[in-house]
Amino acid sequence: MPAERDVSTGSVPADLQTCHPRRLAEPRTRAGRAALAAMLADPVRALLATDFDGVLAPIVDDPDRAAAHPRAADVLGRLAGRLGGIAVVTGRPVRQVLELGGFEGATGLDELRVLGQYGVERWDARTGTDSPPPPAGIAVARERIATLLADHGLAAVRVEDKGRALGLHLRHTTDPVLAMRCLREPLDALAAELDLRVEPGKHVLELRATGADKGVALESLLAAGALDAHVDVVAYAGDDLGDAAAYDAVERHRTAGGRGLLIWSAAPEPTDETCELAARADLVLDGPEGVVGWLDALADQLDGAGTSEGGR
C-alpha cells in the first residue's frame, strides 16, 4: 500500500512540491520521514538504489550522449563510504552506464553495483560483469523491426540496440504520443510471438526479455548475503514507468517490516502515467540536478554525524 500522507494531495501535479539542491528536504510522508531518520541514525544498514536516465543523467534526444550529472559520481562516492550499499538499477547495458556515468574507478565507488538490462546484467566493482547471453527472440526482432516501423509510416523512430533489448525512441517523430499508440499493438504482438515483453517509457518502447524487472533486481540486492550489511532501509530513486516495479519492491519491503524511501525525479513534461507513479513517492525532486543536490546534502548530514557512529 502507498505510504499515508499527512494532508490531502489533491491533483497530482499540484502535489509535486519539488526540492532544491544542497538542502536536505524532508519527505512528505510519515513513512518516508521514518526511513530517512533511520538512514541517518544507522546508515550502514541502508541501501541507496537509483535509476540512471532521468535521475542521475538528464534525458536527451540521443541516448548515447546521456552523460551523468557532473557531480553524480563524486556524490555517490561520498555516500558509498557511509551507506551499506549503493546501486544503479537501469534498463541500459552495464558497460554503457559505466562509461556515461564515469563510475568505473571513481573515488569511493569500489563497492558500487550496477544492475543493467533490468538486472539481467550485473556488475560489481570488486568482481566485474556477469552477463548471460541475449534471448534468441531479440535477434529475430532486430531483423524485423525496420519493416514493422516502415509498415506503420514510422521510419523516423530511432532504434537503440542494447544487445539484450531494443529501444524504440519516438522523440523525433511528428507526434510521439500518436506514434506510441500506433506501435503498441503490433509491438505487443511481436513480443508475444518471440517470448519478449514491451516496456513503455517516456516517448520510448523497449523490447526485452520476460522475467526481469527493476523490482526483481532490487530484491536480489536485499537477499541474504547479497550485500555486506543487513539492510533495514531501502531508498530508491526513479523517474519513469519502468521504475514502478522497484517502487513495488520497496512497498513489499515496508510490509515485511523494513523502512522504505521512494524518491521521484520530476520531468519537465510529465505524462498522466508518470504523475500517477510520482504520487506514490515520499519525496519529489527537480530532475537530476535536484536528485544529486539532495544526495549531496544527505552526504553532508552523514559526514556531520561523524565516523564513530554508523561508519564502516
Q: In this structure, is residue 309 part of a structural domain?
A: no
Same domain for 72 and 218, yes or no, is yes
Which band of pLDDT confidence, cut at 50, 70 and 90, is reported for residue 162?
A: confident
- The SS3 of residue 48 is strand
Q: Which of 89, 91, 125, 128 is nearest to 234 (CA)?
A: 89
Range of the domain at 193: 136-209
> Average pLDDT, stretch 271-298?
93
Q: In this structure, is residue 279 part of a structural domain?
A: yes
Q: What is the pLDDT of residue 247?
A: 98
Query: What is the biggest distance separating any 2 CA atoms in the chain, rounded to whole angstroms?
Result: 64
Q: Tell me the chain's radius of gyration from C-alpha atoms.
A: 19
> Average pLDDT, stretch 166-181?
90
The DSSP secondary-structure symbol of 234 reads E
Q: What is the pLDDT of residue 267?
A: 85
Q: What is the pLDDT of residue 6?
A: 43
Same domain for 244 and 114, yes or no, is yes
Q: In this structure, is residue 178 part of a structural domain?
A: yes
Q: Between helices 214-222 and 244-255, what is the axis angle to 10°? A: 40
Give me the number of domains the chain comprises: 2
Same domain for 153 and 247, yes or no, is no
User: Which grid cell is 52?
Assistant: 540512471
pLDDT greater than 90 at residue 96: yes
pLDDT greater than 50 at residue 14: no
The pLDDT tens digits for 117-147 are: 898 889 999 888 777 767 789 889 999 999 9
**Measured CA angle at 129 (ends 123, 133), to 5 deg:** 120
Same domain for 109 and 246, yes or no, is yes
Neighbour count for residue 298 (Cβ, 10 Å): 22
- Last residue of a domain, which of 209, 244, 263? 209
Q: How far apart are CA 7 and CA 307, in angstroms?
A: 37
CATH of the domain at 284: 3.40.50.1000
Same domain for 108 and 167, yes or no, is no
> Average pLDDT, stretch 108-115?
94
> Average pLDDT, stretch 76-88?
95
Same domain for 73 and 157, yes or no, is no
- Last residue of a domain, which of 209, 229, 246? 209
Q: In this structure, is residue 100 part of a structural domain?
A: yes
Q: In this structure, is residue 56 part of a structural domain?
A: yes
Q: In this structure, is residue 128 part of a structural domain?
A: no
pLDDT greater than 80 at residue 76: yes
Q: In this structure, is residue 10 part of a structural domain?
A: no
Same domain for 55 and 87, yes or no, is yes
Q: Which of 253, 247, 286, 282 is nearest to 268 (CA)?
A: 286
Q: What is the pLDDT of residue 307?
A: 43
Same domain for 197 and 60, yes or no, is no
- Last residue of a domain, which of 171, 188, 209? 209
CATH of the domain at 194: 3.30.70.1020
pTM: 0.74
Q: How far apart are CA 289 and CA 69, in angstroms?
A: 7
The pLDDT tens digits for 231-251 are: 999 999 999 999 999 999 999
Q: What is the pLDDT of residue 209?
A: 81
Same domain for 149 and 38, yes or no, is no
Q: How far apart are CA 203 and CA 201, in angstroms?
A: 6
Same domain for 274 and 291, yes or no, is yes
The DSSP secondary-structure symbol of 292 reads H
Same domain for 111 and 216, yes or no, is yes
Same domain for 203 and 219, yes or no, is no
